[in-house]
A and B are shown apart, each in its own frame.
Chain A
Amino acid sequence: MAQNIVGDCDWPVVVIGGSAGSLSVVTGILSALPMPLAAKIIVVLHRKNTSDIILLALLSKKTALPVIEVEDKEELQPGHIYLTPPDYHLLIETCNSFSLDSSDRVHYSRPSIDVTFISVAEMFRNKVIGILLSGSNGDGAKGLAYIKRNGGTTLVQNPETAEFPFMPQQAINLNCVDMIINGNEIGNKLVEILGKLSISPES
């Protein structure tokens, strides 16, 4: 089905959440992405408060698309990959800008995947593709269900291929998952989903 992009707010938004064991899957997804990319990508990873520069450099190596660690009120643009900064929750402030929040941890986590998934779902509704990866924490499942309830598309890493199956399994248990995909096939699947939306970047 063809869709016309009429403004900043109409681009598909892909939001990826992961915890322990998810890094290699995330890098796999990023390397599969075409350029130019007709979507906005947001990555939320649980991380220790160790150097953010190393993670940013690692992800940047996997794609020619710009990878940006979000600062407060950062613009949210198509064709960019946004990484949540350590020790802040990432929220969507307007359909083309972020906001940060350093309030209490959720599921012992800041950033919390649930917090960002819910915020993305509220702003972008059926334009959201939510992806939940390996992890040993319950964070992300409710957020993915919320994406589903708001008309988005949901995908989890097949727990059998996840280093830590608990996180994707929690989402499956909530009955909110459209697709269960092996970790190394998620990138291609995402490209296929975005392709079916038949969206081409506005010139």
Chain B
Amino acid sequence: MESNYINDDQLDLLLNELASLYGYDFTGYARSSMKRRVNRLIIVDKFTNFEALLETIKNDSTYFRRFVEEITVNVTEMYRDPSTFKMIREKVLPAIATQPFIRIWHAGCSTGEEVYSMAIMLHEANLLHKSLIYATDLSSLAIENIKQGIFPLSQIAKDTENYLASGGKNNFSEYYTVKKDTAIFNQNLKTKIITATHNLVSDSSFNEFQLIFCRNVLIYFNKSLQDRVLTLFDESLETLGFLILGTKENIRFTKVAAKFSQPDNTQKIWRKIL
């Protein structure tokens, strides 16, 4: 049964403990969603109440790691929202194709489905050889998964459908080999992917990019953290670089709004103009 195990004071207490004990600052996360996830974890991990969860987090660093994974790891799929990837294929890649060297950052990329989606599109546009894709996430488990490039076979039907809807012309099965119930993606894709853990709350920019993906990550942040992260992206993008967000995310009401233009208002793709 889903109900309110924790109140606002308890959430504040928990967030303060996480910051002081482990150095993880979740205070800029959207409270509504954070509460929901903490409640879910209390139920799933069968804690009797909030205090029991708090005690375990304080005394058991192994459990703390599980807590972070459960609080942050998100739903993703290959070519999620295929029309966005279609526009990247048709409009964005041609615009950056003339660059001598292409750098792309997938920030908060979770288990990496969109990273591999992008690598495949670059390969098909004959751009992969001069590209580097930086894939970062808070979760070290997610990062490990990206390095391996192994995804559940059960997802492949949906992934293939999305690939085709995004304008993919090849046989999607050329990009992986099947082993038991997994799909292992090709080595040539992996050589162009650089992985690292990165915390959008506290870490800074580490390069300059033509393209930054950050999809369905900002929804978990409050407005002031959104401003911080979008400023970080602004500083990390070349002029005329592209920023790609989730389908229900928007920079309208944020600090960076005036610095970007949106070429097609049905797609969450912005271009840095200032």
Contacts and interface: CB of A to CB of B under 8 A. Distances in A.
Contacts of B33: 91, 99, 101, 103
Contacts of A101: 30, 32-33, 36, 219-220
A142 B1 contact: yes
B9 interface: no
Contacts of B222: 93
Interface string A73-93: 100000000000100110111
Contact of B250 (A71, A92, A97, A122): A71
Interface in A119-145: 119, 122, 142
The SS class assigned to the A binding surface is: mixed
A71 B32 contact: no
B30 A142 contact: no
Contact of B219 (A102, A119, A122): A102
B249 A71 contact: yes
Given A72-B219, A101-B36, A103-B75, A142 B2 contact: yes
Contacts of B166: none
With most chain A CB atoms within 10 A of its CB, the pick from B30, B74, B220 is B30
B74 A72 contact: no
Contacts of A72: 218-219, 246, 248-250
Given A114-B2, A146-B3, A71 B248 contact: yes
Q: Indicate the size class of the contact surface on chain B.
A: 20 to 34
A15 interface: no
A106 B31 CA distance: 19
A104 B32 contact: no
A115 interface: yes
The 5 A-B pairs with the shortest beta carbon distances in the complex, nearest first, are A91-B32, A99-B30, A72-B219, A100-B219, A101-B33
25 contacts: A71-B248, A71-B249, A72-B248, A72-B249, A85-B248, A91-B30, A92-B32, A93-B31, A99-B30, A99-B32, A99-B33, A99-B219, A101-B30, A101-B32, A101-B33, A101-B36, A102-B75, A102-B216, A102-B246, A104-B75, A115-B36, A118-B4, A142-B1, A146-B3, A146-B4
Interface of A: 70-73, 85, 88-89, 91-93, 97, 99-104, 106, 114-115, 118-119, 122, 142, 146
Given A71-B250, A91-B36, A119-B32, 16 more contacts: A70-B248, A71-B248, A73-B253, A85-B247, A88-B248, A89-B36, A91-B33, A93-B30, A93-B222, A99-B219, A100-B248, A101-B33, A102-B74, A103-B36, A106-B2, A142-B2
